[in-house]
Amino acid sequence: MTERLHAGGHPATGPLLLRQFRHQNKLFLRNPFSAFFSLAFPLMFLLLFGSLNGSQRIPELGGIRYAQFLVPGLLAFAVISTCYTGLATSVPMNRDLGVLKRIRGTPLPAWIYVAARILSSVWFSLVSAVIMIGAGVLLFHVRIIWRMLPAAALTLLLGAACFCALGLAVAALIPNGEAAPVVANFTFLPIAFVSSLFYPMVGAPAWLNTVADVFPVKHFALALEDTFNPLVVGSGFRWGHLGMLVLWGAIGAVVAVRRFQWEPRTDRPGGQRPRVSRAWKASA
């Protein structure tokens, strides 16, 4: 037991974070919905779309095979489902049930709890990437373009971080757990269909592309898709798109940190937002 303690007498940070991370992973795998929507659902799309059109060529993208476009597109979809939809849905539900309130009453530092949830989402984004790319290679002859793999990895991590921040921000703003799935899906799905995740948006009305350009989904999709496009030269870093991810991630992080709630909204007389102790925020 003593090896878990350090000088201050608190359990050591590293092992604490690792345990909490593994705990979140366990919850993710035991929750049929999260595992299904993050891992199985995108894979199902891949099998379906890939079987129907995998070998067709996309003239608008210089004639590359559809499967070569679809795998990174659906991977972006999987990452957003895991990070954004997952957190924006489960955090308000946990809050409503008092899970977060109970955690707040323990000595576990708030930042470790939140960090473990983020790391767990990022971890399953990576798992999803391995599954999707593996399935693409084995079933649809997708080519991994090794010179652009570092760009693909960076894009994936930045995207996961950005959508975790946005998921937590939306979780902080959603009034209750019942509204959470509605808000999470309603803010993502309409944008998903115009953001080049499932098919290229080349030839779509200009105004639609302008709208999609505002949101981070399309930038994430395009940056990831380019790293699988054999016609792209160089190392494949799309700094403009990545910049948009950083910007949206930063906005999400600021909102999440300022507005994060540990207690159910309806829990107190007068229905007010509880004032969290300043020191609690400081320790968070």
d(CA 247, CA 239): 12
Minimum CB–partner distance for residue 188 and other proteins (Å): 25
Of positions 63, 203, 234, 270, contacts other proteins by CB under 8 A: 270
Compare residues 230 and 274 and give the one whose CB is closer to other proteins: 274
- Per rule CB under 8 A, is residue 101 in the interface with other proteins? yes
Of positions 41, 43, 53, 108, contacts other proteins by CB under 8 A: 108
- Per rule CB under 8 A, is residue 23 in the interface with other proteins? yes
CB 144 within 8 A of CB 55: no
Torsion of CA 52, 185, 133, 147, to 10 degrees: 120
d(CA 249, CA 155): 13
Enclosing H/E stretch for 280: helix 278-283
User: Would you give the DSSP letter of residue 81?
Assistant: I
- Per rule CB under 8 A, is residue 14 in the interface with other proteins? no
- Per rule CB under 8 A, is residue 210 in the interface with other proteins? no
Q: Which residues fall within 8 angstroms of residue 220, CB to CB, at 6 or more apart?
A: 76, 79, 80, 155, 159, 162, 163, 241, 245
Q: Which 179-198 positions form the footprint of other proteins (CB under 8 A)?
A: none
- Per rule CB under 8 A, is residue 107 in the interface with other proteins? yes
Minimum CB–partner distance for residue 107 and other proteins (Å): 4
Q: Would you tell me which residues interact with other proteins (CB under 8 A)?
A: 1, 4-5, 9-11, 16, 19-20, 23, 26-27, 30-31, 94, 97-99, 101-102, 104-109, 263, 268-270, 272, 274-275, 277, 279-280, 283
